[in-house]
Structure formats: structure tokens, C-alpha cells
Structure 1
Amino acid sequence: MKIKIVHILHAVGGVDVSLRLILANIDSDKFESIVIHGDSDKNEPFLNDKNIPIKNYPISIIRNINPSKDYKAIKEANKIIKNEKPELIHVHSAKGGVIGKIVGKMNNIPVLHTPQAYSFLSANSKFKKNVFLTLEKFLSKWNNKILASSNSEKNRALEEVGYNTDRVLLFNNSINAIDNISNLSIEKTWPDDYICSVGRPSFQKNIELMIEILHQIKQTKPNIHLVLMGVGYHAPNLGQVKSLIANYNLESNITLLEWTQREDIFNIIKNSKLYISTARYEGLPYSVIEALALGKACVVTDADGNRDLITHNTNGYVIFDENVKEFANKVDSLLKDDQKRTEFENASLEIFDKNFNIENTISSLEAIYIKERKK
């Protein structure tokens, strides 16, 4: 008999990518996967390891807090769970976590929660952070465990939310190896020598810091160029970022790509000199994992997720305290030092294959599912 697992999530961004990678790699002869997701999510089928669409239920899950819609989503999810009778519920992100933990308790079904960056990290006020953290602590008392996407996320669950060690598990976000690089499907409007990043202008991604760093680098390297991908998706700070670019006269030093096909992203990262991230927090960022898989040296902030992927002076540099000058100096030094950059690139490939290649890691997730299911 197959083990039936229901996944609950708002299927957008990295959360959506994470689930689709799991579904495409987990053994469908052993596991039956079902997805409950937002009815406003993109209309793409969820495919299993045989490329066959799996059963999915769109319900009223939305990103922001909305008491009436959230209550409706809980009722809808509960009805589905009662009908499907899964042995395990795997919930993803903050909203999926709240809904899944409630319906799991209502039906006495074990729940695994993968936060993909805790919601309280996104709060830019102390009051909001306390509200989100209090909710996580309250829900942690029920029949659920954390399935962290990184060691940093695992530590947050233990040290801040208050889970016991036996209730916090780890499965690193992982991807398939990137073996084939397609030609660009868009016109290349940037120079051959460039650095790159993927990140929507938002509090989390802190693109304003990236612009400050670019401005600093330009003082000694006037032709520095940054290709920034993914700026058009849910980008609340896009106006501020564009204003900062104009104030620093950086229009000729940066290319903003609002929407980019995944294959184009791989091409752009692969052909860049190095990858950078200025995020304030992450779960375990797929863009940086992809940079490792493509053999890139990286310079990143000391944020959850970033520090789990980049080991300082091994496959890149980790910069503390959002130090603009230090970040700029490390980027500049790597651009000048081909030998050091190549050393970091080789290390990135080794680290990826050992820890973040889903073909090598999916068996550990299957073992967790088998152990944690309702007996």
C-alpha cells in the first residue's frame, strides 16, 4: 500500500518550487501525493516522478492575513482531509503551516511543517514580529514537527519557537543537477563581464543594500555591471530601488529583468563572474543553490539560508552586519583574482553535489515520511 501524503501551501515562489521538486523526485510507487493549494495560484499541473499530474484541490489560501478567507480555507481543507484520510500532512510556508496544523489537530493526523523562512523574520516592526512568533509558539504545542529547510531554520525552531530537539527534523532544500544550459530566449543587452543576482525588491531581499554595494564598487571599477533577475514579481520596493539607481547614476551599471524563464536564469548565472545575495533572511534560497550547482563563487550577507550554503573563504565570502564597504571589497577582489574565484567555483560544485543534489538527498525525505506517518 502506498503512503498517502497531503501537501498544503500557497503555491508561489520558492515554496512552489520546493514542492514541485519533491513531487518530481519522490517515488510515486511508494507514496501517493495530493496537493491543497491557493485557488489564485498559477494554473500549472503538479507532476510526479513519472511526469503524470497528481490530484490537487484549489481552495481559498492567500498570502496575507484575512480572517474570513482563512476561516474558509480551514473549512475547505478540513473537508478534503476527512475525505482523503492521509497518513501524513506536509505543510509549507507560514499560511500553509497555520491551516495544516489546525486541520491536522482536528483529524488527529501527524503534521510536518516546512516554514521556508519563518513569518516573524519578515516583520519590520517589533509588534508584528511578536504577534507572528506568538502564533508559531501556540501552534507548536500541537501534534506537529518542524521539517526545516536549512540548519538556520532548524535552529530558529529550537531556540526561538521552542520546539524540543526530537520534534525538529531537517531536509535541506535541494534541486536536480543542472546539466544542460539553453541559449538565451531574450535579447542580451548587458556586457559580457557582469555579476548577477535573483531577487524581488522587498524587505526580505534588501535590494537597496545591493544598490549601495554597486555604487561603492563603481568608485574603483566604473564598468561594473549587475544583472538582477526577478524584479517584477511581488516587488513592493521596486519604486525605491529605481529611485536609488537614478540617484547614484547607475542606470548604465545595472540591468533589471522583470520576468525571466528558468532556463534563461541558468544561462545568466552560468555566464556571470559571480553571484551575490543581500537578503535579510531566507529559508534555503533556491537561487543560491542554483548558483552552487552552476559552479559559481558567491558573496552573500550573513543571513539564514545564505550562511548554510556559503562557507566563508571556501566557496565564497559571507559578509556580516550589512557592511557595504566589506561586501564591495570582496566582490572586487574576486573579480581580480581568477585563481581564487576558480577555487571557490570548484568548491561550490562539490558542496552542491554532496548536500543539495535532490537525486542524492530524496531518500532521506522518503525515510522521514515513512517514520512520521500515522500508524
Structure 2
Amino acid sequence: MKKIKIAHILHSVGGVDVSLRLILENSNPLQFENIVIHGIVDTKEGFYDKNKVLVTEYKLPISREIAIANDFISIIKTYRILKKEKPDLIHCHSAKGGVIGRMVAILTGIPVVYTPQAFSYLSTNNNFKRMVFLFIEKLLSKGNVTLLASSKSEMNRAINEVGFDEENVLLFNNAIRPLTEINSLSIKKTWPDNYICTVGRPCYQKNIDEMIRVFYEVKKQQDIHLVIMGVGHYASQLRMIKKMISEFDLSNNITLLDWVSREDVLHIISKTQLYISTARYEGLPYSVIESLALSIPCIVSNCDGNKDLIVDNYNGYLINENDTIRFSKKVIQLLNDKNKHAVFSINAKKTFELNYNIIEKIKDLEAIYLSQKVK
């Protein structure tokens, strides 16, 4: 049987990078052949399939920000690559990958699936920019494109706000492999054993300034440390966050880790008391999925992505955006209620096993690829 060739196009950082690697490492290499087109400086690590075979990759000037000259060059070079490779299907990941992939799909006629991992228009509180980004999404929602949402929240936004026809929207939840073995920490541990943690760069999306306010309230009553991982990449608000930490006199109570390998992230999450997130929006956050897989209760903002994973008072708590006092009270409550913590831990693991195990769910994605290829 002839393999189906899929071209993946993306800016390969953060959860987008994790998502693609999980797809490549778990899909059937006897049925699917993959190539990856990504940014020159986004990742230095190669991509591998299920058999540990290196996947063909092309590096182009694909960046996170809008860069008209580089974006135009990327579209032209992607077109040439696809004319040479002749894939059966394009899978574009993230907003920038979505723009480049869908533009090339128009030129080549190749069917395309698009996974935003959170729509770009959610990334700003500037009304003009938000309108521009939404207009671009609406414009490119037409034609031979299927929206492959990473969460039900993203699926609903695609239909109700972006304007995708319902029949052109499918769902494949982000998913990971079961976390049966956790590696030892490869970096020096500089924080105490009693801590809570999060993964998120200081930026508008992750709303880390609200997390600092929450933690400030928690520290008034609770002896606990906060570890924030991944603050070094695209961290537009890092200076502001460091200033807040200093002003709140929390320098000895918060650890900021610039770059942390996924193995170290998993180790740190596995030892935490709680996982917290104050994000304004998400696609379907891997760090929360990983927390569930590790039986860690979560207290998170009630936003897209978070609310798809956490059921309030079942495997954690959902808190409305910027409700600082309620968030801090729930952190304190769960840190001190060992019985509830134990119940939430059991329910967290159940949530993962039922819904987010990629070994079980990859067949759904493979079926979607097959259906789109023959459209």
C-alpha cells in the first residue's frame, strides 16, 4: 500500500513543537510518511518517527511575529518544496503555520488541515490588532481547508467566531503517552521541596502578573514556594514580572527557570503539591495534561483549554479570570485539605486515562488524515 505523505508546516516552539513530535512518534510509519517545514531558529532538535527514523525537514524564515518579507519568502519556498515533495495532505500547526500552509494550499490545490493551538486573535488586547488577526483567520477559513481543533473550546470558536462551516471542523484533543517513568532532574535544584509550579512565559496569554498577585496572597497564610518554568522564550513581560516579584518581596519565594527540557518539566511537575495556571486562553495545554497524567490536582483559570481539562471540584478548581482572592483561597484550601487533595489526584489520573492517552487516540488522527486525503 502506498504511504500517505503529510507535510507539516509550523513555527516549532512550545506546545506546538510538543504536539508535532507526539504525532510523528506515535503515528504508523508503514501508513504515513511525514516531512516537516519549520523555522530556521525555532528548534535545533531533529524530528523522528515511531521507528526512531529521522524525518525529512526543511528550515525556512518562519517566525512567531508577522514579518512580511520573511513570510513571503517562506510561502514561495514552501510552494517549491511541496511541488517537489508532492504530499497528499498539508497539516499546518499554529497561527503562522496556518497562514503559510493555507496560502500554499490555495496555490497547489493540496487539501489542508489546520490546528491553531489557540487562535492568534486571542493573543492581544489591542482591538485593532485583534480585528486584523480575526479577519485573516476568517479570510483563510474558506476553500479546501479543515479546521482540526485541539479542544472543544477551540472547535466552538472556529464555528461561532471565525466562521468555519460546522462540517469542516473536526476535533483531535492534544494527547500524550502515559508517564510511567520520570527521569532524574538534570539541572541543579535551587528551590525547596514544598512548592507549587506552572509552565508559562511572561506574556499577555499566560497572565503571569496575575499569578504573582495570587501567590502574594497565598504567602500571607501559607509557607510554600512557586516555580515558574519556561520564562526565557518570547517573554515580553519578563522585566515587569521580575519587578513585581521584587516589589512584593517574593524574590526568595519564587524560582524562575529560563529553559527547561521536557524531561525536567515532568520531573518538577511530578514532585509539586499543585499545578496552577492563570492563563487568559489556551489551545489544550500540555502542562495541564501532564499534570493530570501524574495525578497532580490543578487550579486554573476558567479559559479555553483549561476548562476543557479541569472539571471544577473534581480534579481541581476553575477560577474566573483575575479573581485573585478566590484563586488564592482555593490554593490554600487544597494545600491543607489532604483528603480532597487525594480525591482530586485520583480523578486527575482518571481524566487522563479516559481522554488524553495518545496511544489510544492516535488512531482517531490517522482516520482523519485518511478521510482528508480522499476528499
**Would you call these one fold, judging by a TM-score over 0.5?**
yes
Aligned partner of 1:2 in structure 2 is 3
Q: Provide structure 2 residue ranges, at least 5 long, that are not aligned to the other structure.
A: none
* 1:287-327: CA deviation from partner (whole Å, max 9, x where unpaired): 11111111100000011110011010110000013200000
Q: For the residues of structure 1 that align with 2:179 and 2:134, how far apart are their CA atoms?
A: 37
Aligned partner of 2:285 in structure 1 is 285
Q: For the residues of structure 1 that align with 2:194 and 2:230, how far apart are their CA atoms?
A: 20
Aligned partner of 1:17 in structure 2 is 18
What is the deviation of 1:233? 1.8
* 1:242-291: CA deviation from partner (whole Å, max 9, x where unpaired): 11111111112111111222222112111111100011111111111111
Aligned partner of 1:58 in structure 2 is 59
Q: For the residues of structure 1 that align with 2:111 and 2:141, how far apart are their CA atoms?
A: 12
Aligned partner of 1:175 in structure 2 is 176
Q: For the residues of structure 2 that align with 1:339 and 1:294, how far apart are their CA atoms?
A: 18
Aligned partner of 2:352 in structure 1 is 352
Aligned partner of 1:202 in structure 2 is 203
- Residue 318 of structure 2 corresponds to residue 295 of structure 1: no
What is the deviation of 1:40? 2.1
CA contact (8 A) 1:101 1:142 kept: no
Q: Per the alignment, in what secondary structure is the counterpart of residue 178 of structure 1?
A: coil
TM-score computed with the length of structure 1 as normaliser: 0.98
* 1:226-252: CA deviation from partner (whole Å, max 9, x where unpaired): 111111222111111111111111112
Counterpart code for 2:359: E
Aligned partner of 1:161 in structure 2 is 162
Q: For the residues of structure 2 that align with 1:181 and 1:324, how far apart are their CA atoms?
A: 33
Q: For the residues of structure 1 that align with 2:77 and 2:13, how far apart are their CA atoms?
A: 20
Aligned partner of 2:49 in structure 1 is 48
Aligned partner of 1:371 in structure 2 is 371
Q: For the residues of structure 1 that align with 2:233 and 2:63, how far apart are their CA atoms?
A: 16
What is the deviation of 1:42? 1.9
Q: For the residues of structure 1 that align with 2:369 and 2:219, how far apart are their CA atoms?
A: 50
Q: Per the alignment, in what secondary structure is the counterpart of residue 252 of structure 1?
A: coil
Counterpart code for 1:353: E
What is the deviation of 1:344? 0.6
Q: For the residues of structure 1 that align with 2:271 and 2:206, how far apart are their CA atoms?
A: 22
Counterpart code for 1:194: Y
CA contact (8 A) 1:46 1:54 kept: yes
How many residues align? The count is: 374
Q: For the residues of structure 1 that align with 2:299 and 2:44, how far apart are their CA atoms?
A: 35
Counterpart code for 1:312: D
Q: For the residues of structure 2 that align with 1:121 and 1:263, how far apart are their CA atoms?
A: 29
CA contact (8 A) 2:298 2:310 kept: yes
Where does structure 1 differ by over 4 angstroms across 4 or more consecutive aligned residues?
A: none
TM-score computed with the length of structure 2 as normaliser: 0.98
Counterpart code for 2:121: F
Counterpart code for 2:241: V
Counterpart code for 1:58: K
Q: For the residues of structure 2 that align with 1:65 and 1:161, how far apart are their CA atoms?
A: 20
CA contact (8 A) 1:110 1:374 kept: no
Identity fraction in percent? 52
Q: Per the alignment, in what secondary structure is the counterpart of residue 174 of structure 1?
A: coil
Counterpart code for 1:161: V
Q: For the residues of structure 1 that align with 2:255 and 2:100, how far apart are their CA atoms?
A: 39
- Residue 132 of structure 2 corresponds to residue 128 of structure 1: no
Q: Per the alignment, in what secondary structure is the counterpart of residue 251 of structure 1?
A: coil
CA contact (8 A) 1:217 1:332 kept: yes
CA contact (8 A) 2:279 2:301 kept: yes
- Comparing 189-198 and 2-11, the one that deviates more: 189-198
Q: For the residues of structure 1 that align with 2:282 and 2:160, how far apart are their CA atoms?
A: 17
Q: For the residues of structure 1 that align with 2:263 and 2:68, how far apart are their CA atoms?
A: 39
Alpha-carbon RMSD across the aligned residues, in angstroms, is: 1.0
Counterpart code for 1:172: N
- Residue 150 of structure 2 corresponds to residue 144 of structure 1: no
Q: For the residues of structure 1 that align with 2:322 and 2:365, how far apart are their CA atoms?
A: 34
Aligned partner of 1:262 in structure 2 is 262
What is the deviation of 1:32? 0.7
What is the deviation of 1:374? 4.1
Q: For the residues of structure 2 that align with 1:261 and 1:36, how far apart are their CA atoms?
A: 22
Aligned partner of 2:250 in structure 1 is 250
- Residue 335 of structure 2 corresponds to residue 335 of structure 1: yes
Q: Per the alignment, in what secondary structure is the counterpart of residue 61 of structure 1?
A: coil
- Comparing 89-98 and 232-241, the one that deviates more: 232-241
Change (3 A) 1:259 1:39: closer
Q: For the residues of structure 1 that align with 2:302 and 2:363, how far apart are their CA atoms?
A: 30
Q: For the residues of structure 2 that align with 1:190 and 1:17, how far apart are their CA atoms?
A: 26
What is the deviation of 1:188? 2.1
Counterpart code for 2:53: I
Aligned partner of 1:326 in structure 2 is 326
Q: For the residues of structure 1 that align with 2:253 and 2:68, how far apart are their CA atoms?
A: 45
CA contact (8 A) 1:23 1:49 kept: yes
Q: For the residues of structure 2 that align with 1:209 and 1:148, how far apart are their CA atoms?
A: 28
Aligned partner of 1:235 in structure 2 is 235
Q: For the residues of structure 1 that align with 2:71 and 2:184, how far apart are their CA atoms?
A: 43
CA contact (8 A) 1:88 1:374 kept: no
